[in-house]
Every structure is written in structure tokens, then in C-alpha cells.
Structure 1
């Protein structure tokens, strides 16, 4: 089977989202061929190069979402009329929840396929005037109704960026039309080429979301400092796009119930949804998980990326209360090196707070020793290994206020550690009763839960054993690969074969395609469990580009 794997800001680039999950998927399903269609987010990401790709990757085609896609073409009178009609449908649906979003989107895609020129058209006066009319039409939202010309221009700019995949030359028999199945590794822009491949070539679409892309767009619009009307327009556009992706997808695989609820809220058909947990490599944690050593009974361990969403401030305040109840308690915080000025600033703020909360013990620059709080890096030449970090304590703590799928929590479960976590994202679903869960932003509750486990070694051991058993059952790579192997075959059994496979002499290959069969949904919907990359795992076999056997095509 030939799979078109669609990504945005991730695989096969050496850094970015879902790169390790996609790499494990491609390597684990080596009986299939993969064509990679990757949208990059920045010049820095492209500069880092690719992971070294296995031989089953036959082609890599890339396109830059961050670079202007101006092909220098402009429309004549007839094409301008077509553009105005399609853009009017799309704008009306975005502004007033109309029914013309799909017609407008595919109309623009067909126009771009025939004539190009979409970059200039989306930034033209025609587009801005159509958007202004749609915003002021009866029935529009109050926030959108008050948009100014500046807001219209800002939204038109963002919309042009989001629709850049429409201009790509991927949608023909030499591109996505040659694959048996499109698998989008995320929603949003990553799935847009899959929509067009289905529209133009009839290729079935599978969508996997291990994070909630729509929610990420909401947060990004807020952080970008955009005005309320622009944020409302962007939210409506991405909501409409998500709904169309879910409508056209043959199967949707959320990574947890939290993501599944978002998808259902956006209109996803429950019959199409199959929860497939991210798969992680359990073997690397086996030595700790199977060991009789349960770690220092007085030590709490936190592992993750040091950033505001992890709420280390609340954890430090909670630890101050823990020290009052348990004077021998220690807190070891293991984090990856800061990757941005914001992360470095937050780390400095946390260290300053620790020094303020423990003034008599703050000497030693927070090194492991007499100081009850230590900040330690993972990933450096002399830094501890990730497995050793989890092995260092008897209790692992997660204090986040925002979390999708809690990878560090699953790693702690593989290590057989008792956990205390905040109730965010998919935490409760992952823990499943094998750890303690408290409300977020509540240092008192976090402290009480930690103290209860520090004082009860037998309970820690029971919870740790139960957590490891649950993780081995649900969150391994093998479970993930098994799920997608079955979904691929099921989708192909329901879809017509788009091409004939032949041997070197041009003769048809017998049994080259899976049998055309129908498996009842009650069987195919059985529990499917997969895997997730470690938050701190380094890309394997990073190369400056694709290997010699892989064809790389780059779109400007």
C-alpha cells in the first residue's frame, strides 16, 4: 500500500511536532510505501534538515507555509468574477455561519489549480471589499460586525497564509493522486492537502490528532496580540475548516478522550472516531520499572519542559507546605535546556522564587546536595539520563495548568512510580485510578496529596505497580502500530484501487492489493492503542537532508 503522509511543522524535519511519532509509524509499518508531503513553519526548521529516512519512504515533497507564495500571476475579468463569487461564499460562511464554506474553499482551489494567482487575489481590494460586506451583512456576530478596515486587512493576510496549500502542485496523478491513502498527522493546514486529494483524485483521508489543532489556533491568535474581530474571524475560519476536514475524513483517530470531545463539538461523526493512544517505547524504562528499587522515599521528582504552562510556581509553593509537614522532603526538577528567551526568563523566575522560599538553604546554585530544591538539566554531556531522573524519587509530580497528552506522566508510569497530577487535558484518562489527581492552581491540594504518598510507602508501591501495568497495556508503540495497521487495511478494503501495480516487465502483480472485503464496524472499532514520543527524546539519526535514495522536491 502507498501512503501519503501529510504533516505540518514536523516530520521529516529534525525538529517540530509529531516527528518521532511519525518516524516510528513509518519504520514500524515497513511493509507499506510512504510518500511524505510536509509543510514547514520557518526557515530555521528547514535549516535543521531531515531525520534520516528509512527505505520505505519513496518521496519527500515540501512546501513553506512561512514564505510568500506569489507566482506573479493576476486574473483577467472572467477569473476575477469567479474569484469574487467563491471568496464571497467563503467569507459569508466565516462571518455568519453560512453553508457556503466548502463551495468557496473548493472553488478557490479549482481556480488556483487552473490559473494560479491566488496569492495576489486574496490580498486584493476585491477580497477586502467582499470581506467588509460579509462582516456588515445582517446576521453576523457582534464582534465581527465591528471590524475595521485594518482588521479586514489583517485577517486577509492570515487567511492567505492558511490557504497557501491550495496553490501547491501536489494534486495530480504524479502527486497525491498516486497514493492509496492520505494520512494527515494533524488537523488544520496539514489536512488541507488531503481534502484536495480527495476532491480532485478520490483518495480516502485518515486524520490523526494527538493535539487539538483548533484549540492551538485559538491560543496562538490570543498570544499574537490580534484584535478581537480578527481573532473571531480566525476562530470561525479554523472552526469551519476543522468541520470540513472531519466531514470528509473516512476515519478520525483522536489521541485521547479530551481531543475526541473537541472533535465531536466541531461536528465530527462519532461513527468515524477511533481513539488511538500515542505509543511510546517502554523498553527504555524497563530496567527501572522492573527493579525492586522504588527510589528515594523522601524525594519528589518533576520532569518536563520548563515553561509557564507547567506551573512550577504553584509546585514550589506547594513544596514549601510539604517541607513543613515532612522536613526531609526534597524536590528535584529535571528539565530540557531552555530553547527560547521566554523559557530562560521563566526558569530564572522559578530559581529566584525557590531561593526566596528557602532562604537558609539556597546556597549552591540549586545543585543537588543540602538544598531541598534542585534544578537539573537533561540532555547535556554530564546531565542525568531521562530514565535516571524518574528513578531518583519515590513520587513523580505533574503540576500543569495546560496539558494535552501527558507524555512525562506515561514515562513515570512505565517506571512504576506513584504520581500526583493536576486534573488537566487527558491526565485523568491516562492515570485511570493509578495515581492521585488534584485541581490545577491549588498548591494546598497538591501538597496534601504529595504528603500522603510520602508517608505511605506501601501505597506508593501499589500505585506504581498498577500504573506500570496500565501503561504497558495501553501506551506502547506496538499497540499504536497494530491499530494503524488495521485501520489502513480497513480503509483500503472500502476504497477503489486508484492504479494497477506492475512488475519490472510491466506485467500486473497478482495479490498486490488487499482483498475487497467489508468488516463490520463492531469488530473494526475494537480498542486501538498506540504510542507517543518522549518529550525529551532527541531525534534519531539526524541528517542535513534526505538520504540519497529518497527523492526530495521542494515547493517555494
Structure 2
């Protein structure tokens, strides 16, 4: 069978998390061929893979969302859109009503215009946008509205214009642009679509936009609704929607996903992979480790503030922040400045490392994200019998406390951005070696019982075979 995995902002450019998840599926299913449809943020990422691609990846198609910066169109043409297409464009731009995505796909992929920018410079588009301005943004200058909406939708429109490789089955690993590409693939090739949602993409974008300085206040709702519409496209088009835990399923239903489509397949780890990690050094240092990318959604700044509280009572504590630092250079610089301003000592940004070389040496593991799905970093830490302090995001509380499984807690949970409570939880564990050992044992037992990697792979293998079918695999092999 030939399976096209559609990934946004992850594999093969970034390690860990969703990327590790994708790599694991591909390497554990050598009987299938895979195409990677990789959606990156910046063209400079082209060909910069962080993984050695397995032999059963037969193609990598790369597109980059910053391509819109180079798109110019011819001003003032008219394309004589039908009323239904006008209605769908208006709905997509923030107007009322549902979007008929088939109309959007057919319009943007037609030969009516050579470039997307031609449409966005047309009289048809001006009329639609002017109507939205008069109705909902009558106090906003039209030029400001025009350039804001253009920057919002042009990357999407350019993405829709790209060709989608033929496959027996399509698998989007988020909503957003990846979800729309999956819906487009189903529309063009009439093949099944699976959607796996690790975190709730639209909720994550909403949190980012609310905090963003680059979006003016009166345009925040416009951007937020736009990402919810992209998610609706993926939910509507998917044949099956997979999430990782029950709370995410509830949110997807709230957002309009058909509950009959949704199944839960949790992540899994192979505890045998971690049985030979190094031991904790025999000294008086308390090592706190965080396996994270240094990006805003992981909230490294709250992590640093909580560690400042720890240092006041546990002066022998050290913090190891283990993960890529180059994804957001500005944020990394801000974190370094905070370390200096707070006069924090014993903070180590390791950059990208082999995590197994570090995990065994840690006394406590830490995660301070403002949004998560079911983080593999937590499962991997539990597989190493390490106690955790996490924020109450995604399935972290469920992972650490269980759902009535009779196993004790594997760590402590604190509210998002509450560095005082996070710090106090770290102090509690730092001062109680027996509690650390007990929680570590509980975590190991929980992953061994409920989060087996072989169960995760078996579930997806069955899902692929059920939807892709033997006939589709045989046709691909013969061609």
C-alpha cells in the first residue's frame, strides 16, 4: 500500500514529538510505501532533514508557506465568479455560512487564472472583501483589511494550487494546512483520508493569536475563526479521526466533528529501549531535565521562573533544557536574556542531543507547556522511571495520575504558567528521594500496562489495512 502522510511544521525538519511519532510508524511498517507531504514554514528548510529517511519513503514533496512573499498578480481583472463561489469565498474570509470546500478547490485549481495573486488582485475579490468590510469592519481602513486578509489566505491558496501525489490512502497528522491538503487529496484522487490530531490545532493557534503582537486587536477574531474553518474542512472530509485521549475527543465533538468518526489510539513507548540508560550520578546534585523544543508554546520562560524558586531552597539543583534551540532564534535569545536578568546559575541549554544519554542522569523531569496533546517526552520519561512535574495540559494529568487504574501518581501537576506552584512541586520532589523513586516506579508500571508501542503500531496497521484495502495496495505494487 502507498500511504501519503501530510505533516505541517514537523517531519522531517524537526525532531521529537509528532516527528518521532511519524518516523516510528514508517520504520515499523516496512510492508508499506510512504510519501511525505511536508509543509514547512520557511523555504530555507528545503532539504534540511533531521532524520535519515527510511528506505520505504519513496517520495518527499516539500512546500513552504513563506512562498506567498514572492507572489505578485495582475491588478483589476474580473473572473465572473458564480454566486455560489462568491458565497464560499466570503464564508472563508470571515463571513457567515458554511464553506463548500469543493467549490474552493475547483476555483483555485482551475485555469481561470495563472497565479493565485491574480485572483486576490481582481475586482471579484475586491467586491467580496469590500462587502465584508462594510458589514463587519466598517471602522477599519480598507487597505489595512486588504493586506491583512491577503497575508492570511494567500499561503492557503498557494498550497491548494500544488499537486498532491497519488496514493492509496492519505493521512494528515493535524488539521490546519495539513488537514486542508488531506481534504484536497480526497477531493482530487477520491481516496480515503485519516486525520490524527495530537493537540487541538485550532485551539493552539487561538492561544498564539491572542498573545501575538503582530495581530492587531480588531483582527484577532478574524484570524482565529479562519483557523477554525480550516479545522472544519479536515473534520468534514476525514473518513476516520484519531485522537490520543478522551478529553481531545470531547473537544473535537464540540468543534463539530462527527463523533462516529472518532477513535482513540494513545501513543506508546517500548520500555525495553530505555533499560540500558545510565544511572543517576552518586553526588548531591539534583538534576531537573526538560525534553523540549525552545519555542513559545513550551513556555520556557515559566520554566526558568520556576527554577529560580527552586534555587532558593535547593541551591544544589541544576536545570537541563534538552532540545533544538534554532527553531525560534528570537525566543531563544529572550530566554538567554532572562537567565542573565534573573542571575540564574546552573541552567544548561544542551541543544539537540541524544536524549538517552541524558535521561538516566536526571532526578526529575519537567514540562511547562501551555498546550500539548499526549506528549511522547512524558511517556519516554515514565519509561525511564522518572518522576514528573507538568502543567495541566493535554493528557498530562491523565498520564501522571491514571484513570482509576490502581497505580499511584507518577508526578505532580500544576496550572499553566503558574511558576510558583511548579517551583514548589519541584522543591517537594527535590527534597524527597523516596517520593521520587515511588513516582518513577508508578510511571514505569503505567506505560508498561497502558501505553505499549506494539499496541499503538498494531492499531494503525489495522486502520491502514481497513481503509486502504488489499486491492489498493496490489494496484500500487503492480504500477
> Does the aligned pair in 2 maintain the 1:321–1:447 contact within 8 Å?
no
Structure 2 gaps of 5+ residues are: 402-408
Quote how far apart the aligned CAs of 1:159 are. Answer: 0.9
Secondary structure (helix, strand or coil) at the match of 1:163 reads helix
Deviation digits for residues 325-352 of structure 1, max 9, x if unmatched? xx7x523333346321331331232244
CA distance, structure 2, for counterparts of residue 65 and residue 218 of structure 1: 19
Of structures 1 and 2, the one scoring higher in RCO (CA 8 A, sep 6+) is 1
Q: Is residue 460 of structure 1 aligned with residue 436 of structure 2?
A: yes
Deviation digits for residues 413-445 of structure 1, max 9, x if unmatched? 111122233323332022123222233444443
Structure 2 residue corresponding to 1:156, chosen from 145, 150, 156: 150
CA distance, structure 2, for counterparts of residue 45 and residue 391 of structure 1: 32
Quote how far apart the aligned CAs of 1:84 are. Answer: 6.7
Name the stretch that deviates more: 225-234 or 276-285: 276-285
Structure 2 length normalisation: TM-score? Answer: 0.83
Secondary structure (helix, strand or coil) at the match of 1:396 reads strand
Secondary structure (helix, strand or coil) at the match of 1:95 reads coil
Structure 2 residue corresponding to 1:426, chosen from 378, 395, 399: 395
Go from structure 1 to structure 2 and tell me whether the alpha carbon gap of 1:475 and 1:132 turns closer, same or farther (over 3 Å shift): farther
**Which residue number in structure 2 is paired with residue 98 of structure 1?**
97
Deviation digits for residues 9-39 of structure 1, max 9, x if unmatched? 3334466983332222112111112223233
> Does the aligned pair in 1 maintain the 2:288–2:365 contact within 8 Å?
yes
**Which residue number in structure 1 is paired with residue 126 of structure 2?**
128
**Which residue number in structure 1 is paired with residue 405 of structure 2?**
none
Structure 1 residue corresponding to 2:385, chosen from 403, 412, 416: 416
Secondary structure (helix, strand or coil) at the match of 1:312 reads helix
Deviation digits for residues 207-243 of structure 1, max 9, x if unmatched? 1122322133334545251223433222222212211
Structure 2 residue corresponding to 1:107, chosen from 103, 113, 120: 103
CA distance, structure 2, for counterparts of residue 264 and residue 503 of structure 1: 38
CA distance, structure 1, for counterparts of residue 159 and residue 82 of structure 2: 17
Structure 2 residue corresponding to 1:331, chosen from 305, 311, 318: 318
Go from structure 1 to structure 2 and tell me whether the alpha carbon gap of 1:12 and 1:464 turns closer, same or farther (over 3 Å shift): closer
**Which residue number in structure 2 is paired with residue 375 of structure 1?**
347
Secondary structure (helix, strand or coil) at the match of 2:80 reads helix
CA distance, structure 1, for counterparts of residue 146 and residue 74 of structure 2: 23
Larger Rg: 1
Quote how far apart the aligned CAs of 1:250 are. Answer: 0.9
Go from structure 1 to structure 2 and tell me whether the alpha carbon gap of 1:64 and 1:331 turns closer, same or farther (over 3 Å shift): closer
> Does the aligned pair in 1 maintain the 2:269–2:383 contact within 8 Å?
no
Quote how far apart the aligned CAs of 1:163 are. Answer: 2.0
Structure 2 residue corresponding to 1:472, chosen from 438, 448, 451: 448
1:281-292 superposed matches below 5 A: 282-288=271-277
Go from structure 1 to structure 2 and tell me whether the alpha carbon gap of 1:449 and 1:158 turns closer, same or farther (over 3 Å shift): closer
> Does the aligned pair in 2 maintain the 1:15–1:45 contact within 8 Å?
no
Quote how far apart the aligned CAs of 1:121 are. Answer: 0.4
Q: Is residue 201 of structure 1 aligned with residue 189 of structure 2?
A: yes
Structure 1 gaps of 5+ residues are: 356-365, 367-373, 507-556
1:211-290 superposed matches below 5 A: 211-222=199-210, 223=212, 225-280=214-269, 282-288=271-277
CA distance, structure 2, for counterparts of residue 503 and residue 489 of structure 1: 15
**Which residue number in structure 2 is paired with residue 10 of structure 1?**
10
Secondary structure (helix, strand or coil) at the match of 1:203 reads coil
Secondary structure (helix, strand or coil) at the match of 1:183 reads strand
> Does the aligned pair in 2 maintain the 1:91–1:130 contact within 8 Å?
yes
1:405-554 superposed matches below 5 A: 405-432=374-401, 433-492=409-468, 501=475
Go from structure 1 to structure 2 and tell me whether the alpha carbon gap of 1:347 and 1:465 turns closer, same or farther (over 3 Å shift): same
Secondary structure (helix, strand or coil) at the match of 1:416 reads coil
CA distance, structure 1, for counterparts of residue 343 and residue 270 of structure 2: 34
Secondary structure (helix, strand or coil) at the match of 1:458 reads helix
Name the stretch that deviates more: 62-71 or 223-232: 62-71
Deviation digits for residues 106-156 of structure 1, max 9, x if unmatched? 22321333315233102334213212213434xx5xxx5544311233112
